[in-house]
């Protein structure tokens, strides 16, 4: 039996980023960039008006007041104002947000600080400026102040969020190189387990682990491939495990503890999966098994990196705790993220708590992060089969082994489960 930290280290040493490939921009969200991306343009590409109003020569308006002849109107998207018609003293131009300011001008006065002028020549031919704070550069975003042509704007290893999608579009990248999502095969095991659409007979329960794992994998950034329920026979397990070993990762639930029908470790070894660890000093989740299948099944077309195999315990909350501690970090590594294990946060207990445990225990809890100084409340929980209690939790308090009488306000460590 090894410590959680040693098990996490072993998992992270085995998991590496999947070989990168091209992704269309629309599919790049939630991937990790596998190249440095440089801009092919200055942004903004010209000195740009940030307000609707008048482009002016600020030096013409001492104290921000004065009158100018309106030399024309400029809308975003129209051809640039001719360079040989730079505005001269006494001229201003009507301008809309996003349009290039005309040559000769250096500031934009918002329309609310202007009114119609009194100079002759028609109703819109003159404008009166009244903007005491007028100064050069006002309401203008200079060419290249956001980014310059050739500048690297996103680096290898960047997690692509909506803002990164927008920057990629800005610099003209319709496809980018990213690490693909790991394909994660999922197998439930157990003679007693039936699918959600079935009515359980005597001694049977429904399969919650399969759907839970598929959901966890999706949320973690992988692509789940649910293969079904293997009965507790070597033949049935062999068949589904062999299929699962074509994926980047294989998750099994059940059949890894010490019962007579816990056949998973034996079948995995038989199919060439090298055991890295079996049993971790943790509650719930102790029987968890982890290994590496060095060679892909020949039908694999995806990559030649090894398949990571987790034999998770059967109890639903053990599945969730083991996923947070071991599986999610592995998926994130395969996605190309460099971070390691999920960080624990410190929080104050909301109420006193006496307990005793022979192993470090992850207890379902509600972590309140709204105010400064996190607070955490352990929830009523019947143990590792009690998944319903987890629906009211957003985290797990880590109780260290031993006998403890904790008081309200005592500081504890919390594993915050990601939504
Ligand atoms: P095992 O490790 O296979 O003995 O399973 C431990 C416990 O988890 C047993 O009570 C099982 O009935 C339960 N269990 C196993 N697989 C599932 C599953 N897919 N969904 C819900 N409970 C399960
Ligand atoms: Mg079983």
pLDDT at 21 over 70: yes
**Helical H segments across 116-195, by residue range:** 162-170
349-383 pLDDT, tens digit per residue, is: 999 999 999 999 999 999 999 988 999 999 999 99
* Residue nearest atom 23 in ligand 1 by C-alpha distance: 314
Q: Ligand 1 pocket, 158 CB below 6 A? A: no
pLDDT at 384 over 80: yes
> To the nearest whole percent, how much of the chain has pLDDT over 90?
92
Q: Which of 187, 188, 189, 190 to mutate to test the pocket of ligand 1 (most atoms within 8 A of CB)?
A: 190
CA gap 341, 327 in Å, rounded: 10
Neighbours of 93 (CB within 10 A): 26
Q: Ligand 1 pocket, 357 CB below 6 A? A: no
Q: Judge whether 348 and 373 are in contact, CB under 8 Å.
A: yes
What value does the mean pLDDT of the chain take? 95
The secondary structure of residue 388, as a DSSP letter, is G
95-128 pLDDT, tens digit per residue, is: 999 999 999 999 999 999 999 988 666 556 899 9
Peptide bond into 410 cis (omega under 30): no
**Ligand with an atom nearest the CA of residue 205:** 1
| Assessment of whether the complete model's pTM goes beyond 0.75 | yes
> What pLDDT is recorded for position 301?
47
Q: Ligand 1 pocket, 318 CB below 6 A? A: no
CA gap 100, 56 in Å, rounded: 12
> Which of these, 365, 375, 372, 354, lies nearest to 398 by C-alpha position?
365
**Ligand with an atom nearest the CA of residue 233:** 2
Q: Ligand 1 pocket, 209 CB below 6 A? A: yes
27-43 pLDDT, tens digit per residue, is: 999 999 999 999 999 99
- Of ligand 1's listed atoms, the one at least distance from the Cα of 188 is 19
User: Residue 230's beta-bridge partner residues?
Assistant: 189
Question: End-to-end alpha-carbon separation of the chain, Å?
Answer: 30
Q: Judge whether 92 and 86 are in contact, CB under 8 Å.
A: no
Is residue 5 within a helix (H) or strand (E), and if so which, with residue range?
A: helix 4-14
């Amino acid at each position: 039996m090894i410590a959680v930290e040693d098990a996490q280290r072993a998992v992270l040493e085995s998991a590496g980023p999947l070989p990168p490939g091209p992704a269309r921009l629309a599919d790049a969200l939630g991937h990790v960039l596998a190249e440095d991306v440089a801009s092919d343009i200055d942004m903004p590409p010209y000195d740009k008006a940030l307000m609707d109003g008048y482009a002016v020569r600020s030096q013409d308006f001492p104290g921000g007041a004065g009158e100018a002849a309106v030399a024309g109107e400029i809308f975003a998207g129209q051809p640039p104002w001719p360079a040989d018609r730079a505005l001269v003293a006494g001229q201003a131009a009507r301008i809309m947000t996003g349009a290039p300011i005309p040559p000769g001008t250096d500031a934009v006065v918002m329309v609310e600080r202007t009114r119609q002028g009194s100079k002759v020549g028609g109703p819109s031919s003159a404008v009166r400026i009244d903007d005491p704070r007028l100064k050069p550069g006002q309401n203008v975003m200079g060419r290249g102040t956001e980014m310059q042509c050739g500048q690297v704007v996103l680096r290898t290893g960047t997690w692509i969020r909506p803002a990164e999608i927008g920057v990629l579009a800005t610099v003209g990248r319709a496809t980018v190189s990213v690490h693909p999502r790991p394909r994660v095969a999922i197998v439930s095991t157990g003679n007693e387990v039936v699918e959600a659409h079935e009515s359980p007979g005597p001694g049977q329960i429904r399969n919650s682990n399969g759907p839970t794992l598929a959901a966890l994998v999706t949320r973690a950034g992988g692509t789940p491939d649910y293969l079904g329920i293997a009965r507790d026979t070597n033949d049935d397990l062999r068949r589904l495990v062999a299929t699962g070993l074509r994926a980047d990762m294989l998750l099994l639930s059940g059949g890894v503890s010490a019962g007579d029908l816990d056949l998973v470790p034996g079948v995995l070894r038989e199919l060439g999966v090298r055991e890295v660890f079996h049993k971790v000093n943790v509650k719930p989740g102790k029987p968890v098994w982890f290994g590496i299948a060095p060679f892909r099944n020949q039908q694999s077309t995806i990559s030649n990196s090894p398949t990571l195999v987790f034999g998770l315990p059967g109890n639903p909350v053990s599945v969730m705790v083991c996923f947070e501690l071991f599986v999610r970090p592995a998926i994130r590594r395969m996605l190309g993220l460099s971070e390691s294990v999920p960080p624990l946060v410190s929080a104050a207990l909301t109420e006193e708590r006496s307990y005793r445990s022979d192993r470090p225990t992850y207890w379902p809890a509600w972590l309140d992060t709204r105010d400064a100084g996190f607070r955490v409340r352990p929830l009523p929980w019947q143990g590792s089969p009690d998944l319903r209690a987890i629906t009211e939790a957003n985290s797990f308090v880590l109780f260290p082994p031993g006998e403890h009488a904790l008081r309200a306000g005592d500081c504890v460590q919390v594993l915050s489960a990601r939504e």
